[in-house]
Amino acid sequence: MIRPGCIWHPIPLRALPALTDIRYERTADGIAKMTICRPSVRNAFRPQTLRELEHALMHARDTPSIRLVILTGEGTLAFCSGGDQSARGHGGYVGHDGIPRLAVLDLHIMMRRLPKVVIAMVAGYAVGGGHILHLVCDLTVAAENAVFGQTGPKVGSFDGGYGSSYLARIVGQKKAREIWFLCRQYSAEEARAMGLVNTVVPLEELEVETVKWARQVLEKSPTAIACIKAAMNADGDGHAGLSQLAGEATRMFYQSEEGKEGKKAFLEKRKPQFVPYVQETLRPTPPTVMTAGVVEEETRRRAKL
Ligand code: S0N
């Protein structure tokens, strides 16, 4: 049994009044929890599950009083077993609209773009696409019974996105290839040793410990957290990642008097007055070996030889 870490209150979603595949809850102090509730299939996701998670993530993004998200699976047997193989059709996973999609890839991007920390709380299996879901989270707290691994090459699928390149950045190329080519399963302790999870705790303490981690994050500056998450993602996300990081900078600039002067002047049909905002800029540290004095001294020393 997993001991509750705090009191959870259901969050209604206006866009999706009835949630069938996930539970969406929050604490009074700003932690949201999204639980995949399909334990009979080890919390495998189908298109409806992904749709509900997407709406919950949008809600978490747009709700200032939500500061952090915990992603988990119902029960103790599985965090998530990946794509629901019974929903797999020709060219993707098929939902109510009959259109085959690989929608989990969009969910990965939404999770990385959320300017708030996402913690995976893992009990039991995190395999296949479920393993990638925890991988994409910012932090992972695993129970001692957690099991990690990729299954794609066994069931005829693969994730060449974050599931490959980001995995390799975390565990190294050789280990990532082993994980994919051999489809082995790894214990929580093995995953921790590989840098795949942050901590391993007794199953009973999983939620208590995860909430403890979450509350330590909540004590920190939300802007610093959002910027550091964007900066770390920018390294792997190219222009899209830089755009996210720059978006955080723009948000702060909009809040400044200098930024507001530009808009005000435009609306008042006058020239903007930016002079009061001229400020110190970052200056590079002078490279010591290249200073004129050092070069001269080196030239003299060589001339003597
Ligand atoms: C999780 C495993 C290891 C659990 O084993 P255990 O405890 O022995 O239980 P089982 O008896 O095997 O399972 C219990 C019941 O649950 C059903 N079930 C389990 N997993 C799934 C699943 N993924 N889909 C559908 N049903 C599942 C079992 O069938 C069983 O049902 P009953 O009781 O009726 O017999 C073990 O179950 C296991 O290995 N599961 C399969 C893991 C797997 O291979 N997952 C799929 C991997 N592929 C993906 O995830 C695709 C990823 C993806 O979505 C994607 C990738 C790249 C680009 C796009 C996409 C995209 O789709 O968007």
Average pLDDT over residues 214-228: 98
Is 276 within a domain? no
Looking at residue 138, which CATH number applies to its domain?
3.90.226.10
Give the DSSP letter of residue 133: H
pLDDT at 290 over 80: no
What share of the chain in percent tops pLDDT 70? Answer: 97
End-of-domain residue from the set 218, 243, 261? 218
Helix H segments across the chain?
A: 47-62, 104-113, 129-136, 152-155, 167-171, 173-182, 188-193, 206-218, 222-254, 257-267, 292-304
42 lines ligand 1 (CB under 6 A): yes
Is 191 within a domain? yes
Compute the distance from residue 263 Cα to the ligand 1 centre, in Å. Answer: 53
pLDDT in the model for residue 95? 86
82 lines ligand 1 (CB under 6 A): yes
- Take atom 30 of ligand 1 and give the residue whose Cα is closest: 41
Do 252 and 233 belong together in one domain?
A: yes
Q: Which of 41, 50, 53, 81 is the best mutation target for the ligand 1 pocket, counting ligand atoms within 8 Å of the beta carbon and taking the most?
A: 81
In the sheet that holds 68-73, the strands lie side by side as 9-10, 22-26, 31-36, 68-73, 117-122, 139-143, 199-201
Average pLDDT over residues 196-221: 98
pLDDT in the model for residue 271? 98
Do 113 and 142 belong together in one domain?
A: yes
Nearest ligand 1 atom to the CA of 50 is 63
pLDDT at 22 over 60: yes
Nearest ligand 1 atom to the CA of 155 is 44
Is 255 within a domain? yes
Give the DSSP letter of residue 99: -
Domain around 242: 223-269
pTM of the model: 0.91
Do 181 and 69 belong together in one domain?
A: yes
What's phi and psi for 175, nearest 5 deg?
Answer: -65, -40
d(C-alpha 162, C-alpha 170), whole Å: 11
pLDDT at 53 over 60: yes
Do 205 and 236 belong together in one domain?
A: no
pLDDT in the model for residue 51? 96
Nearest ligand 1 atom to the CA of 125 is 1
Residue 34 near residue 74 (C-beta atoms within 8 A): no
Is 101 within a domain? yes
Do 200 and 263 belong together in one domain?
A: no
Residue 91 confidence class, pLDDT cut points 50, 70, 90: confident
Residue 96 confidence class, pLDDT cut points 50, 70, 90: confident
Average pLDDT over residues 44-68: 97
Do 196 and 247 belong together in one domain?
A: no
What is the 3-class SS of 217-266, one letter each residue? HHCCCHHHHHHHHHHHHHHHHHHHHHHHHHHHHHHHHHCCHHHHHHHHHH
Looking at residue 233, which CATH number applies to its domain?
1.10.12.10
pLDDT at 135 over 80: yes
Do 160 and 234 belong together in one domain?
A: no
For the record, the structure tokens of 111 come out as: 């999770």
Q: Which of 36, 40, 41 is the best mutation target for the ligand 1 pocket, counting ligand atoms within 8 Å of the beta carbon and taking the most?
A: 41
93 lines ligand 1 (CB under 6 A): yes
pLDDT in the model for residue 42? 98
pLDDT in the model for residue 100? 86
Residue 90 confidence class, pLDDT cut points 50, 70, 90: confident
d(C-alpha 195, C-alpha 79), whole Å: 18
End-of-domain residue from the set 179, 196, 218? 218
pLDDT in the model for residue 242? 94
**Which pairs from 12-16 meet CB under 8 Å and 24+ separation?**
13/52, 13/55, 13/56, 13/59, 15/55, 15/58, 16/51, 16/52, 16/55
Q: Check residues 144 and 289 and name the one with the higher pLDDT.
A: 144
User: What is the rounded average pLDDT for all residues in the chain?
Assistant: 94
41 lines ligand 1 (CB under 6 A): yes
Q: How many domains does one find in the chain?
A: 2
Compute the distance from residue 230 Cα to the ligand 1 centre, in Å. Answer: 32
105 lines ligand 1 (CB under 6 A): yes
Is 304 within a domain? no
What share of the chain in percent tops pLDDT 90? Answer: 85
Is 194 within a domain? yes
d(C-alpha 94, C-alpha 20), whole Å: 16
Is 2 within a domain? no
- Take atom 29 of ligand 1 and give the residue whose Cα is closest: 41
Is 278 within a domain? no
Do 185 and 129 belong together in one domain?
A: yes
**Which pairs from 270-277 meet CB under 8 Å and 24+ separation?**
none
pLDDT at 103 over 80: yes
Residue 183 burial (CB count, 10 A): 16
Provide the sign of the torsion angle of the four alpha carbons 289, 290, 294, 297, taken in this order: positive
Residue 209 confidence class, pLDDT cut points 50, 70, 90: very high
What's phi and psi for 25, nearest 5 deg?
Answer: -140, 170
pLDDT digits (tens, 9 = 90+) for 239-276: 999 999 999 999 999 999 999 999 999 999 999 999 99
Compute the distance from residue 85 Cα to the ligand 1 centre, in Å. Answer: 6
Compute the distance from residue 83 Cα to the ligand 1 centre, in Å. Answer: 7
Do 187 and 263 belong together in one domain?
A: no
